[in-house]
Amino acid sequence: MLLAAATVPRRASAHDSLAHLREEFQQEHDPVKRARRFPRLGSALIAEMRRLEDARQFDAVPPLYREYHDDATAAFDGLMAGARDAERHPKGFRELEIHFRDSLRSLNDLLYGVPLDDRESLRKAQHDIEIMDDRLVQALFPRVPDKPRTPPSGPAEHPLS
């Protein structure tokens, strides 16, 4: 009985923290600060989606998945709309890219628990996040490394021949 009483406040506080994270994210207008806040909100949304799948409430997952996608897009678009050089000033870009890279596998795993009717639209949302991640990497590392300057392999002629 004590164990049951101990788990109820955790769930309520986890839900309250998700609501608090949503509110903080929505109220932030600075694109860098918003992008830096998104990983906490995104992780909380993923944790809530997992909890719902574990509780077999599969119909409740797609709206949260779409919310994740919409908030991720808002954070990404805010960063990309500015004229900031991500290579020289990576704040926001770096945190968002790391979060996307870490969360893509979890998002893919969540797809298999949702109803078949919702999967295709959620796959498109996941694909959008993959594209955003690729664009963040390109923004952070825009330079293409020079080709290696090693001599070509193969038999070389002896200089005295």
Nearest to 103 by CA among 25, 43, 18, 33: 43
Domain of residue 130 covers 17-140
The pLDDT score that the predictor gives to residue 154 is 58
- Is there a domain that residue 107 lies in? yes
Cα separation of 54 and 22, whole Å? 23
**Residue 60: both structure tokens together:** 């409740």
- Is there a domain that residue 73 lies in? yes
CB contact at 8 A, 136 and 86: yes
- Is there a domain that residue 7 lies in? no
- Is there a domain that residue 90 lies in? yes
- Is there a domain that residue 2 lies in? no
The pLDDT score that the predictor gives to residue 142 is 86
The pLDDT score that the predictor gives to residue 65 is 96
The pLDDT score that the predictor gives to residue 10 is 43
The pLDDT score that the predictor gives to residue 45 is 97
Number of domains observed in the structure of the chain: 1
- Is there a domain that residue 134 lies in? yes
Residues 141-151 have pLDDT tens digits of: 987 666 666 55
Average pLDDT per 10 consecutive residues for the chain, totaling 161 residues = 43 67 94 94 97 93 96 95 84 94 93 87 94 94 69 62 59
- Is there a domain that residue 154 lies in? no
- Is there a domain that residue 74 lies in? yes
CA distances from 136 to 25, 42, 130 (A): 20, 17, 10
